[in-house]
Structure 1
Amino acid sequence: MTGFLFLSLTESLPEPELDVYSSVPIQCWTQWFNSDNPTRGEDQETLARLRIQYPGKICPIPVGIEATNLFGIPADQTGDTIFQSDTTTGFICRNGDQISGECNDYRVRFSCTPPYCADTVCWTQWFDRDNPSRTGDWETLQSLRRENLDKICEDPWYIEAVTVDSPSTPAIQTGENFYVFSPTQGLVCRQEDQSSKTCLDYKVRFGCPCTR
């Protein structure tokens, strides 16, 4: 994949950068799982079921869960009433809870902390598509993908954000409040969330699974 650098997560990344990742709730994502469908009363994508069908593919203690239907629409936007969606049980949608009488068919994935993630991570180039002159600094993954075709992997594991000045300052050390700070969404700093009513200018890059 173009624009990526091969780095060892455990050996080559300096300690200050690791602090950035440990502060972000979402770390790296598993593959998508779709072990069931709603034809027999409910769609059960539970951790108990998935661990049996996919041994070793899910970390012992997930820190996040994401569920979408097979068209990629997030579960909370499908109109279905979701019975369960958490990192302890997993995901359950029951047909009996739906006005239509049947759930969408869902897939799920889980986020894990760095000790479970792969040994190597490949970094994109730095991106700085916006500045805080209006409502804030919007370095969203959606916009960056649109403006930088094929430069960012499909499912980033990590995000790093620093100020654009030199020497740069890691975002989490600036004291600013972030509306969005996630490898699956990017970074958003809004002026209205700051006591100074202005954000610093940031650049971001994403850590992806290495492909050879």
Structure 2
Amino acid sequence: MIKLLSVAIFAALFLESHQKTVGKVLLAEVPEIKPQLPCDYPTHIQCWTDWFDRDDPTGSGDWETFSNLYKENPGKICRKPQGIEATTLSGLSVVAAGEVIFKNDATSGFVCRNVDQTQKKMCSDYRVRFSCHPPFCGGGVCWTDWFDRDNPSGSGDWELLSNLRKEYLGKICEYPLYIEVVTTDTMTPAISTGENFYIFNPTQGFVCRNKDQKSGECRDYKVRFGCPCKN
């Protein structure tokens, strides 16, 4: 009887010890699961083409028309762009350049005529790019968190990518493909507010200046960036 009891106790202790060992091994073999940014295909955000500069203002002006650019750059511009961005070759936005622009839309393209400028001034030399919807853009997009580093209480709302990188180390990819901007209170897309923007692109970030608004003050905005998904 004593022998049987001893055997039973030994077996129980061995089983308990074996279970603990197995448990430790199993836990050690479970791989660590790291959270990843969700990858999706945006329907309301566009990607940008390369920059195009087919003309200069030495003649009647700078004519960067969509019809000519589409013919001269086959496969590089979608058939129906959603938007257009124009800057001077030195990087100034249309608002910052302060010139009179004859055309600036995704359907017609961009035209600055010398005859429209004051004091017989010639237009600056401009470059343009167009925004397109997927699938023209390619793969999916991984979004960063929302960032809101400024408010319009000063000269405006300055959400520059260079500043955001410094303040949120490692949180933004090296080459963002997209930028999304909404108001902080109602999540209204910036493009639906009717305000004028000084900078609005994924390579520089976003700036809304109070002096460019009819009301005299920008709304408060937050931004996020779309990055290439890593397989």
On whether the aligned pair clears a TM of 0.5, the verdict is: yes
1:207 Cα deviation after fit: 1.7
The structure number with the bigger radius of gyration is 2
Task: Give yes or no for contact 2:181–2:190 (8 Å, CA) kept in 1.
Answer: no
Is residue 61–residue 114 contact of structure 2 (8 Å, CA) maintained in 1? Answer: yes
**Alignment counterpart, residue 177 of structure 2, candidates 150, 153, 156:** 156
Match of 1:105 among 125, 128, 143: 125
Distance in 1 (CA, whole Å) between partners of 2:227 and 2:207 is 16
Give ranges in structure 1 of 5+ residues lacking alignment: 162-170, 189-198
CA RMSD of aligned residues (A): 4.0
Asked if the contact 1:126–1:203 (Cα under 8 Å) also holds between the matched residues in 2, the reply is no
Instruction: Calculate the TM-score normalised by the size of structure 1.
Output: 0.61
What CA distance in whole angstroms lies between the structure 2 residues aligned with 1:118 and 1:145?
25
Q: CA deviation at 1:113?
A: 1.2
Contact 2:84 2:109 (C-alpha < 8 Å) held by counterparts: yes
What TM-score comes out, normalization by structure 2 length?
0.57
Q: Deviations over 1:60-109 (max 9, x none)?
A: 11111110101111112212111111111100111111124310000001
SS in 1 for 2:127: strand
Aligned residues: 169
User: Who is 1:195 aligned against?
Assistant: none
- Give the secondary structure class of the aligned counterpart of 2:74: coil
1:111-150 mapped onto 2 (5 Å cutoff)? 111-121=131-141, 123=142, 125-126=144-145, 128=147, 130=149, 140-142=159-161, 143-148=163-168
Distance, in Å, in 1 between the alignment partners of 2:150 and 2:61 is: 46
Identity %, equivalent residues: 40
8 Å contact from structure 1 (residues 183, 206) kept in 2: no
Partner SS, residue 44 of structure 1:
strand
**Cα distance in structure 2, aligned partners of 1:125 and 1:40:** 45
CA distance in structure 1 between the partners assigned to 2:93 and 2:137 by the alignment = 24
Alignment of 1:9-28 (within 5 A): 13=40, 18=41, 21-22=42-43, 24=44, 26-28=45-47
Q: Measure, in 2, the Cα distance between the counterparts of 1:203 and 1:95.
A: 38
